Structure 1
Amino acid sequence: MTHRLALALLGITLAYFSSAFPGLAHTGEGYGGGFVAGFTHPILGWDHVAAMVAVGLWGAFLGAPAIWILPVVFPLVMAFGAVAGILGIPIPAIETGIALSAVVLGLMIVFAVRPPIWVAAVIVGAFAIFHGYAHGTELPATVNAFAYAVGFVISTGLLHLIGIAFGLLVRWPAGRTAVRGAGGVIALAGVAFLTGVA
């Protein structure tokens, strides 16, 4: 039963990625209403996608209770970062922080790092501030801020679930290798974002 569930979740994950359309989250283009704008903002930027999927992957890799705590901490702290962005509170090096989140979280998965849960939560929360701030500063002037926030929090949660779905493969030896390999891909993507290649 668990094997079937993992395969079903993996199928859903692959279907999601194959249907995702390209774009950049940080251009401010292509937004509809408040909820739609917020919902699409994280999934249109591969830097956001990589980090948010990594949170779910790392949580699944660490197992309970991290599998649920990390994906809850991220959007909660991200909301505070978004408020800071909306209010115009200066936070330096936002794009660098977003890129580093993919690098660091990817490497945590690659090297099977298992810190205490509070350390993992602090790492995830620290990076969530950068992602939230980016969402907040790019709030389109014509949309409802609350609906926008609800949209990007839900979208973020779904990206975490995709990471968890793939991360459930760690229960099998080949799956564990695949998850660590995915962490490597995420870390390399982060390096590409950091260096401006992507």
Structure 2
Amino acid sequence: MALPPRVFFSLHETSARWGCNIADIAGWAEIGKFRILTGISPVRCGDEIVSGKVVLSPMELLPLFRRCGTGPTEGNIRRIQPAGQDHWLLITDPAGGIPVTIADMLILAEEVHAFEDEHDMVRRIATGPGVSSPYDWDGMNVALIQRIHDSGLPATQSELVAEMQDWFDERSDGTKIPDSRSIRRRITPVWKALRREET
């Protein structure tokens, strides 16, 4: 059985994936492109006890995101946003807030993928020699070329994605099938280029 898609990316993983600085990630999070999360033990925020997944404010941890790399790796947070809520809470106990490290900061995988889709970042995601993958992307590319050469493009990109998922299924007995979003990211540049040629 194939593992389900991953749920989180760390800031370091996201930085490597996008080829950017952690300062850039903090900036994009600050303007609402995605959220930076962490997990905390129970703390008191006035009359409320909060624990588990919370949202962090990058501007309140700014020294951690220095572009020059000279900042600390741990900071104190005094304000948090509980998951699923849109308001911020001040931590009242412990009075000085709680420590958080860059290594423990995460971004939801669905928000990473949505950002990549919005900014057409297919070419920046690490692929090629030296990058390990459980999927036969080179084989899929050959199958994709053969399909388009023999039959042209289907009516929708979703149909093409589904056909490539079927291709993986047939060659791995259903054990190594990438999710549709991963296939779509690799097909999208080809789809867009060929659609432009048809118009």
User: Which has the higher relative contact order, 1 or 2, with Cα contacts under 8 A spaced 6 or more apart?
Assistant: 1
Q: Which has the higher strand share?
A: 2
> TM-score, structure 1 length as denominator?
0.21
Report which of the two has the higher share of helix: 1
